[in-house]
Amino acid sequence: MRYIFFSLLIFYSLSANSQTADQIIAQLVSKINLVKDYSVKANIKADIPMIKVLPVNATIYFKQKDKFKVISKGIAILPKQGFTDVSSFLSNKNTYVAVDGGIKALNGVQTHVVTVIPTVENSDIVLAKLWIDTKNKVILKTDLTTRGSGSVTMNYVYGTQLAFGLPDQITFTVDIKKFKMPKSISSDINNSEKAKKSKSKIGIITIKLSGYLVNKGISDEFFKKKN
Amino acid sequence: MLVRNTYNEFIKIIAKPRSYIGLGVLTALIFVILFAMKADGTSFVSFVTASFEQTLSFNGNILNGNLIAFIILQMLIVHIPLLVALVTGDLISGEAAMGTIRMLATKPISRTNIVLSKFIAGAVYTLILTLWLAFLALIVVKWMFGTGDLIVLNSSGLIILQEQDIMWRYLCSFFVAYLALLTVSSLSICLSAFAENSIGPIVSTMGIIILFTIIGSMDVTVFDSIKKFLFTTHMASWRSFFEDPVKMKDIWQSIIILVVHNIVLVAIAIIKFNKKDITS
């Protein structure tokens, strides 16, 4: 009898937490859905091992659910995943379960930690851990583990577009797979330096966003056109 | 007299059909590269960025004129020496083979000046080849593919240079590449002074370049001490202008070694030609 009672208690508390997490995610998704499309000016600074690049200005375009385009005069480096993946992943609530991870402070802000686990087999996202500011209904931090691109951590800073849940700054911390730059492909055959192996595995990409134009309407054709 | 004889030597160069082979082959090679890039340039670029593309995406016009100019320079700098040697390797020995060297030696000009005028004429021809390469790579290619940031892969990783920071690097690179080709010209003229036929110096020049290049590319410690003195090692020093920061110390070292090679090779040619017993 005692075992049954405790089992019921654990089941009840787990399902109650799960419900709370679902509610938080639902609130978050409803805020994400406020934005149908946007364009924003971005200053992209990439600090990646074995890549030397100066900050680049670009314009980023987004349209629900997952249309994304970057127009840049120079070469802009962005993480392969993380920009639109989380919002489009969360939008389809039949494809994941949300587990409550409790309340934690993040940079002085009380956040609700929610772990999202996909329920479909072919999902590229393996696990997403979200630090959600329930007061403003925005994500402050995401730990994203993917099949194809390793893990990506995103930290968001909000400002002018808090009402739409759009950040003013995103800092991506990406896993850079260990690689060796072969001498043959560097074709610098006379360079006496030996081909280097990357030591650091962490790349940091900081994107400062400004001048949002939200819900002005961007055609689907625009995303198909080549730059 | 030196100027007039140099002019005569240059006339002899442009009168030979083989002098146009270099320009023709160079043009054909560049257009083959352009065709390949237009047809399948994206896969070439992904070969360069493949190591990073699992986690990162590269946005913007990567396959632009600046990148293709770099690819052209990198691919052709190996082959242009042959085109240079094809003409300059013939300058003294060709006269010996044709029997005109005796008449040349009877002119009221010293043998030293004969060699110098051939060296200068060869240098002008090499300059024309380099300028033609620069014109095709920097003007025609950019006109066809547009401009943009340059992505360079070297032994220290990827470097992305901004568009406004590239032109001066190309101009300096072409200068160093010209100096390297001039060394090939001097080498072939030097070998030409020893030979009595046209083919020998041309083949020997290419043989030396291949030998030195192989020695330079072998990661064997026994060659480390001599590598830095081989002119072929410094033929690729134009690439140093695409480093960030630019390794000026290395570039100056390469320039000095190439200039010394030129001086020594021309000096050997002068000494040999002055002592040459012209019997043909």
Residue B36: inside a domain: yes
Number of folded domains that form chain B:
1
**Domains along the sequence of chain A with CATH:** 2-215 (2.50.20)
Specify the pLDDT at position A121: 82
A190 → chain B, closest CA residue? B233
Chain B residues touching A203 at Cβ < 8 A: 55-56
Specify the pLDDT at position A179: 58
Q: How far is CA B219 from CA A185, B75, B153, B222, in A?
A: 15, 22, 20, 9
Residue B60: inside a domain: yes
Residue B126: inside a domain: yes
State the smallest CA–CA distance between residue A171 and chain B in angstroms: 14
Specify the pLDDT at position B166: 94
Give the ipTM of the model, two decimals please: 0.77
Which of B71, B155, B239 to mutate against chain A (most A CBs within 10 Å)? B155
Judged against a pLDDT cut of 90, whether residue B41 lies above it is answered with no
Whole-angstrom Cα distance, residue A96 to residue A49? 34
Q: Report, as an integer, the average pLDDT of B254-265.
A: 96
B70 → chain A, closest CA residue? A187
Q: Is B54 exposed, middle or buried (0-12, 13-18, 19+ CB in 10 A)?
A: middle
Specify the pLDDT at position A15: 46
A71 → chain B, closest CA residue? B60
Lay out the sheet containing A150-158: strands in order across.
A67-72, A56-63, A37-47, A202-214, A167-175, A150-158, A138-146, A125-133, A109-118, A96-106
pLDDT tens track for B71-114: 898 887 778 999 999 999 989 988 888 888 888 888 888 999 99
State the smallest CA–CA distance between residue A188 and chain B in angstroms: 6
Q: Which token pair is A75?
A: 């070469």
| B255 Cβ contact list (under 8 Å, min separation 6) | B176, B179, B237
CB contact (8 A) between residue A181 and residue B153: yes
Specify the pLDDT at position B100: 87
Nearest to B156 among A76, A177, A196 (CB): A196
pLDDT tens track for A115-164: 999 998 888 889 999 999 989 999 999 999 988 778 899 999 999 999 99
DSSP bridge pairs for A128 = A116, A144
Phi and psi at residue B180, to the nearest 5° = -65, -45
pLDDT tens track for B197-207: 889 999 999 99
Chain B residues touching A68 at Cβ < 8 A: none
- Kindly state the helix (H) or strand (E) to which residue B24 belongs, with its residue range: helix B18-49
Specify the pLDDT at position A56: 93
Residue with tokens 């600074």: A45
Specify the pLDDT at position B269: 95
Judged against a pLDDT cut of 70, whether residue B183 lies above it is answered with yes
- Kindly state the helix (H) or strand (E) to which residue A57 belongs, with its residue range: strand A56-63
pLDDT tens track for B122-176: 999 999 999 999 999 999 999 999 999 999 887 778 899 999 999 999 999 999 9
Residue B266: inside a domain: yes
Residue B280: inside a domain: no
pLDDT tens track for B184-201: 999 999 999 999 888 999
Q: How far is CA B261 from CA A39, A81, A136, B192, B232, in A?
A: 58, 53, 72, 16, 11
Residue B206: inside a domain: yes
pLDDT band at B1 (very low <50, low <70, confident <90, very high): confident
The list of chain A residues with pLDDT below 50 reads: 1, 6-19, 184-187, 189-190, 192, 195
Angle (CA) A97 A103 A106, round 5°: 110
Nearest to B153 among A75, A186, A227 (CB): A186
Q: Which token pair is B130?
A: 């380099």
Specify the pLDDT at position A8: 45
Nearest to A77 among B54, B56, B154 (CB): B56
CB contact (8 A) between residue B57 and residue A77: yes
Specify the pLDDT at position B280: 62
Which residues from A are below 8 Å from B when comparing CB atoms?
A: 48-54, 56, 58, 70, 72-80, 148-150, 152, 174-177, 179, 181, 183, 185-196, 198, 203, 227
Closest CA to A178 of B21, B55, B101, B11: B55
B230 → chain A, closest CA residue? A190
3-state secondary structure of A45: strand
Q: For residue B145, what are the domain limits?
A: 2-275
B148 → chain A, closest CA residue? A74
Residue B94: inside a domain: yes
pLDDT over 70, % of chain B: 100
A182 → chain B, closest CA residue? B155
- Using an 8 Å Cβ cutoff, are B119 and B222 in contact? no
Specify the pLDDT at position A139: 94
CB pairs A-B closer than 8 Å: 135
State the smallest CA–CA distance between residue A121 and chain B in angstroms: 21
* Most trustworthy range by pLDDT among A27-36, A93-102, B50-59, B259-268: B259-268
